[in-house]
A and B are shown apart, each in its own frame.
Chain A
Amino acid sequence: MKLTVKDLNSFYGPAHILFDIALEVGEGEVVALLGRNGAGKSTTFRSIVGLVENRSGRVMFEGRDVSDLPTHAIVRGGLGYVPEERRIFTDLTVEENLEVGRQPKRPGAPQWDREKLFKLFPNLGEMRSRPGGRMSGGEQQMLTIARTLMGNPSLVLLDEPSEGLSPKIVEQMVDAILAMKKEGVSIVVSEQNLHFARLISDRAYIIERGRICFGGTMAELDARPDVRDAHLSL
Chain B
Amino acid sequence: MAFYIVQFLTGLASAASLFLVASGLSIIFGVTRIVNFAHGAFYMLGAYVAFTLTERFSGAFGFWGGILVAALAVAAIGVLVEMVLLRRIYHSPELFQLLATFGLTLMVEDLVVLIWGPDDLVGRRAPGFKGAIDFFGQNIPSYDLFLIVLGPVVLGVLWLLFQRTRWGVLVRAATQDRDMVAALGVNQKWLFTSVFALGVFLAALGGALQIPRDAVNHAMDLRVIVEVFVVVVIGGLGSIIGAFVAAVLVSELNAFGILIFPKISIILVFLVMAVVLIVRPWGLFGKPEAPARRTPGLTVNPWRPLTVNERLAAIAVLVVAAALPFVAGNYLLTVGSEIAIFVIFAVSLHFLMSVGGLASFGHAAYFGLGAYGVALLAKMVGLPMIACLLLGPLLGLMGAAVFGFFAVQLSGVYFAMLTLAFAQIVWSIAFQWVSVTGGDNGILGVWPEKWAASPSHFYWLSLGIAALAVVILRIIVFSPFGFALRATRDSPLRSEAIGINGKRIQWTAFVIAGTVAGLAGALFAYLKGSVFPDNMGISLSVDALVMVLLGGVETVSGAVVGAIVYKALNIWLVSQTDLSKLVLGGFVVLIVVAFPKGIVGTLEAYMHRRRKSSSSAPSPLLTSRIESAE
Contacts and interface: CB of A to CB of B under 8 A. Distances in A.
Interface of A: 49, 51, 70-73, 75-76, 81, 83, 87, 89-92, 96-97, 99-103, 147-148, 151
7 contacts: A72-B183, A75-B184, A76-B185, A92-B169, A102-B166, A151-B184, A151-B185
Contacts, number: 58
A133 to B, nearest CB: 10
Contacts of B187: 70, 72-73
Given A96-B169, A100-B169, A100-B170, A75 B183 contact: yes
A49 B185 CA distance: 10
A2 to B, nearest CB: 18
Contacts of A72: 182-183, 185-188
Residue from the set A70, A90, A100, A101 with the largest chain B CB neighbour count within 10 Å:
A100
B179 A99 contact: no
Interface in B155-199: 166, 169-170, 172-173, 175-177, 179-188
Q: Is the interface of B mostly helix, strand, loop or mixed?
A: helix
Given A72-B185, A89-B180, 11 more contacts: A51-B179, A75-B183, A75-B184, A76-B185, A83-B183, A89-B177, A91-B172, A97-B173, A99-B166, A100-B181, A103-B185
A90 B166 CA distance: 17
A101 B173 CA distance: 10
Contacts of A102: 166
A101 B184 contact: yes
B332 to A, nearest CB: 49
Interface residues of B, number: 18
B595 to A, nearest CB: 23
Q: Enumerate the 7 nearest inter-chain pairs by beta-carbon distance, A residue then B residue, closest first.
A: A75-B185, A76-B185, A87-B180, A100-B173, A89-B173, A101-B184, A71-B182
Interface string B131-150: 00000000000000000000
Nearest to B186: A72
Contacts of A90: 176
B176 A81 contact: no
Interface in B292-306: none
Contacts of A92: 169, 172-173, 176
A49 to B, nearest CB: 6
Contact of A99 (B169, B180, B188): B169
A135 to B, nearest CB: 15
Contacts of A101: 184-185
B244 to A, nearest CB: 19
Contacts of A148: 184
Nearest to B175: A91
A64 to B, nearest CB: 16
A153 B608 CA distance: 49
